[in-house]
Amino acid sequence: MGRKSEDSKHDKAARSGRKPMGKAEYLEKLAPLELELDTLARWLQHTGRRLVVVIEGRDTAGKGGVISAISHPLNPRMCRVVALPKPNDRERTQWYFQRYVAHLPSAGEIVLFDRSWYNRAGVEPVMGYCTPEQAQAFLKQAPVFEKMLVDEGILLFKYWLTVDQAKQEERFAERLADPLKRWKLSPVDLEARSRYAAYTQARHRMLEATHTKHAPWTLVDFNDQRRGRLALIRHLIDALPEHDVPGTPIDFPPLPGEPLKERFKGPLRPI
């Protein structure tokens, strides 16, 4: 099981011989999606709806890249990225979901979870950071918690980014060789290399327990990260209700007279 693809459908696509998407093609296809994301954000503001997007996957899958692709064209006041550190002593005594609740969106907001409450379904049980009983309790409570979010009117989307072990090893090696990417390698990441099969088993348990009608999982092939980003963004946009909103015209009259030049006094001089 250790070296098999995350999913047979994705494994077939990975072997199809399709070349990785180049940067120029990717940017060309991303541009119209950015405009649609902007329309989506304006629709959320117009209607007061709230959107939560959970991005999960193995180390090196590309979670940060797709989150950046979604958030980059949007107003940071309306789109927040939540990537919580490990809980402190006080948080460890709380209800497990409690610290995530504080980061849920208000009206018109988007929250992108870079890892989420699903830490307890993957890294924590695999690495021994929680007990088997705690992990099992999470799998029972998560669908109930998510049903409460959906019943409250929150739009909830959950994505798992799939990546094969050979591709994961390639990306780990790339990070190790690049001083500007080496910060992405942690002791937990390195330990995870030998636990690919254990993470696979944990993923299967998670999907079986938490893939529900009200909060389904969507698996996205991220062996080619650029194609994966485009596919995920396209799916997110298409899965939401019709979200066209009327544009608000902005009156932008010309300034009277000549525009003034910026002038400085005192010892400071512009460079």
What confidence tens digit (pLDDT) does each residue in 197-217 have?
999 999 999 999 999 999 999
Q: So what's the pLDDT on residue 117?
A: 98
CATH (residue range 23-239): 3.40.50.300
Largest CA distance in the chain: 73
The structural domains of the chain, with segments of one domain joined by +, span 23-239
Q: So what's the pLDDT on residue 17?
A: 59
Per-residue pLDDT of 156-187, as tens digits, reads 999 999 999 999 999 989 988 988 888 888 88
How many Å apart are CA 262 and CA 82, to the nearest integer?
39
| Average predicted confidence (pLDDT) for the chain | 90
Q: Pick the closest to residue 20 from 175, 230, 180, 169 (CA basis).
A: 230
Can you list the positions of beta strands (E) in the chain? 50-57, 79-82, 110-114, 154-162, 217-221
Tokens 């080619």 label which residue? 224
What's the pTM value of the predicted model, to 2 decimals? Answer: 0.87
**Contact yes or no for 108/48 (Cβ under 8 A):** yes
DSSP letter at 209 equals H
Tokens 């990441």 label which residue? 189
C-alpha distances (whole Å) from 136 to each of 56, 117, 217, 221 are: 19, 13, 19, 27
Tokens of 216: 């389904």
Per-residue pLDDT of 60-119, as tens digits, reads 999 999 999 999 999 999 999 999 999 999 999 999 999 999 999 999 999 999 989 999
Q: Classify burial at 18, counting beta carbons within 10 Å of its beta carbon; exposed 0-12, middle 13-18, buried 19 or more.
A: exposed
